[in-house]
Structure 1
């Protein structure tokens, strides 16, 4: 596809969240309420917002630790990075214009706007992706020009990465000498062997834990090629993974 005219932004490696200004609640993608300290949302605007709870690149596990912590002080390390306005039923360009104006007067230290850049073509997208990758980022999100806000996955919102990843269910570890790997199950019901470090192999997660693996395409059998362990996903249940897969 030609990405010319599409809107690019960094894909943040955090926890997706939705700000409901009427109930003053931050909801997770799975519809669970985050236990947010009052000081964090004190100066949030009276408008619904879609974004990501984030701190910095490569800190996904630390971010989850904050969200599961009972220490409100730890929330001072996070920001709610906003990239869309769900209730504005208009095209992306109008929503960008609205958010830029809104954030010109926002005073909360825990709120920021993730700006979008108009893509001029494939080379521009690749250059932007390389910049994000060089900074340790996860990838790039591109949004179709003229698109409306949609809940869930959409052909008007795509990811660009240097690798592919998926969530799988941990079943057990291999017992072959000098071979360190996890035995896992994909959402498609395919068994796969996931390469790990010796340390991860010696300290596996509990059975049925959801983990993220990175891989390079698929074999003819439908199993991911050369998968390797990336991280744990304690924020997801296997039911969440299957529900997300079925809506793709």
Structure 2
């Protein structure tokens, strides 16, 4: 095993390294999930949060031996990429750049990794799922780990402390103009807790979710002969139509029945339906 000359952090490493490696190929890594800040802003004190740009890539989990998606499906990266990863569990975003989700998603989902394509991918690490301690402690050790690895395609996200709502909005607006997807906020004194809670928040100005395509509805007027809308069903069984956000090409070749889409919306109506639901993208299998 590699030695870690990182001061007091070495003791903490010894406490969690062995069980992490023993995880192996989990069908469900049981990762921490973000709650929406848009829905909880009135009840949350952000003074103990750190934040960074939300990267629009593919979430990756490395268990110390194998790389996988957030749902546990294997990611077939080149050997040179995997060999640089640490012997501890880390999670982050496999990312190429703003507006490049479709490309990175295609690269990550390929069973036969292409070296040239993977040279464009950076694994931006943001947490240590099994490391003891609060986020501030985990982030410090993560930064040290990335420095020790010292390769250009494995990086640690940069976080900044919350100082005011005004500054958060300014940063978000600046990032948004540059093509960013949103903001992620980490509670610095919180332990890593699998599932959804307030230890991890996201700010997007809108919500997004997944739904399954139930029926393809024919268009009218200028969309005659093409798809007009999709009838979809959310995870909690609510059915509704998604009719905007599509290109003409997507209307000619719509998502297949049974496939999953990601849609955006602005809150819920009084009847519990997504307000202003619009298509964002076809959801790749994970």
- Asked if TM exceeds 0.5, the reply is yes
1:166 shift after superposition: 0.9
Query: Partner of 1:209 in structure 2?
Result: 259
Equivalent residue in structure 2 for 1:168, among 202, 206, 211: 211
1:227 shift after superposition: 0.8
- Indicate the SS of the match to 1:153: strand
- Indicate the SS of the match to 1:165: strand
Alignment of 1:7-18 (within 5 A): 7-18=50-61
Please tell me whether the aligned partners of residues 192 and 199 of structure 2 are also in contact (alpha carbons under 8 angstroms).
no
Equivalent residue in structure 1 for 2:137, among 90, 94, 107: 94
1:152 shift after superposition: 2.6
Query: Partner of 1:54 in structure 2?
Result: 95
1:68 shift after superposition: 2.3
- Indicate the SS of the match to 2:198: coil
Query: Using the alignment, how far apart are the partners of 1:177 and 1:49 within structure 2?
Result: 49
1:190 shift after superposition: 1.6
Show structure 2 runs of 5+ residues with no match.
1-43
Asked which structure has the greater CA Rg, the reply is 2
Moved over 4 A (4+): none
Query: Partner of 2:22 in structure 1?
Result: none
Please tell me whether the aligned partners of residues 216 and 257 of structure 2 are also in contact (alpha carbons under 8 angstroms).
no
Alignment of 1:1-248 (within 5 A): 1-21=44-64, 24-69=65-110, 70-73=112-115, 74-178=117-221, 180-194=228-242, 195=244, 196-236=246-286
1:72 shift after superposition: 2.3
Query: Using the alignment, how far apart are the partners of 2:219 and 2:89 within structure 1?
Result: 52
Please tell me whether the aligned partners of residues 211 and 232 of structure 1 are also in contact (alpha carbons under 8 angstroms).
yes
1:176 shift after superposition: 4.5
Please tell me whether the aligned partners of residues 173 and 201 of structure 1 are also in contact (alpha carbons under 8 angstroms).
no
Query: Using the alignment, how far apart are the partners of 2:194 and 2:109 within structure 1?
Result: 25
Query: Partner of 1:243 in structure 2?
Result: none
Query: Partner of 1:246 in structure 2?
Result: none
CA-atom RMSD in angstroms = 1.6
Show structure 1 runs of 5+ residues with no match.
237-248
| Alignment length (residue pairs) | 234
- Structure 1, 197-206 or 210-219: larger mean CA deviation: 197-206
Query: Using the alignment, how far apart are the partners of 1:227 and 1:172 within structure 2?
Result: 16
1:193 shift after superposition: 1.3
- Normalised to the residue count of structure 2, the TM-score between the two structures is 0.77
Please tell me whether the aligned partners of residues 86 and 149 of structure 1 are also in contact (alpha carbons under 8 angstroms).
yes
- Structure 1, 72-81 or 222-231: larger mean CA deviation: 72-81
Change (3 A) 1:197 1:152: same
- Indicate the SS of the match to 2:196: coil
Cα deviation digits, residues 22-51 of structure 1 (max 9, x gap): xx2112111122112101122222322111
- Indicate the SS of the match to 2:230: strand
